[in-house]
Structure 1
């Protein structure tokens, strides 16, 4: 590998992913931090995120957790996809809450990884716990020698 550090690799891979991640952008997510095997994304709960109970629950929370998972498991500049995910919902979000999803790599062995994501409000109250299993497919997000895109 080139002289790219793990942190630089994570930042470049996140930038390449973010460029085409229209779903996360549409939900109003923000990348707060990325590093090797980790990512932190946030999202302000908007009115259009609320369900029929007037709360943010289920799919919207899963989407935030899944996006943090994706940025964490792609941080090694490998094209990586979800193989399996599970989530436990602890509490709903409310309109105006800023939710923070912290993803961290538990283990990475060959082409498979395990990642945990905690979604919480800014006050630390846990909204959901997510576990994702990843699988690396062929290709990278950028060419480490030239720094340019490499989606091959």
Structure 2
């Protein structure tokens, strides 16, 4: 990673990520669990529940996207603070069904200035469910 935005590149942005995770109500509502965050990387899990299944008996893509976007946010905010997604794309490669556990692994592939790019792989066991790439931009400090 390059351009680590005025921080020691070996230090995770612990306090901000902790605050972000504690304040995030969407994580619980979506059922995302088992979040682990390291410097420029993150892992998050989602158990596919029956109410996430669409009319063709597979998980609705919005849940997979949300899991990937959540892992993206954790990894991005471990490097920069207050990163918001400005662009994201996802390729769905394999369906997932009720009862499967999805694991999203996010890795920062670029960081420079106020921009960051994170690649996320969503898997169920050894099977790749989706590939996600998100671009984020730090929004700076909150307004008071």
Query: Shorter-chain TM-score: what band?
Result: 0.7 to 0.9
**8 Å contact 2:44–2:104 — kept in the other structure?**
yes
Instruction: Supply the distance in 2 between the matched residues of 1:94 and 1:16 (Cα, whole angstroms).
Output: 33
Decide whether aligned partners of structure 1 residues 115 and 21 sit closer, same or farther in structure 2, where only a CA change above 3 A counts: same
Which SS does the other structure have where 2:136 is aligned?
A: strand
In structure 2, relative to structure 1, the CA distance for the partners of 1:2 and 1:50 (3 Å cut) is: closer
| Segments of 4+ moved more than 6 angstroms | none
How far apart in 2 are the matches of 1:20 and 1:81? 15
- Please tell me whether the aligned partners of residues 57 and 92 of structure 1 are also in contact (alpha carbons under 8 angstroms): no
Shift of 1:76: 2.7
Work out the CA distance in 2 between the residues paired with 1:132 and 1:52.
Answer: 28
Aligned residue pair count: 138
CA RMSD of aligned residues (A): 2.1
Alignment TM-score, normalising by the size of structure 1: 0.83
TM-score for both structures, normalised by structure 2 = 0.87
Aligned to 1:148: none
State the Cα deviation string for residues 75-98 of structure 1 (Å, max 9, x = none). 135111001000000011110100
Return the offset for 1:6.
1.1
Unpaired runs of 5+ residues, structure 1, are 141-150
Counterpart of 1:17 in structure 2 is 20
Deviates further, 93-102 or 13-22: 13-22
Alignment correspondent of 1:56: 59
Q: Deviations over 1:83-123 (max 9, x none)?
A: 100000001111010000000000100101111000000x2
Tell me what 2:127 maps to: 125
Partner Cα separation in structure 2 for residue 97 and residue 2 of structure 1 = 38
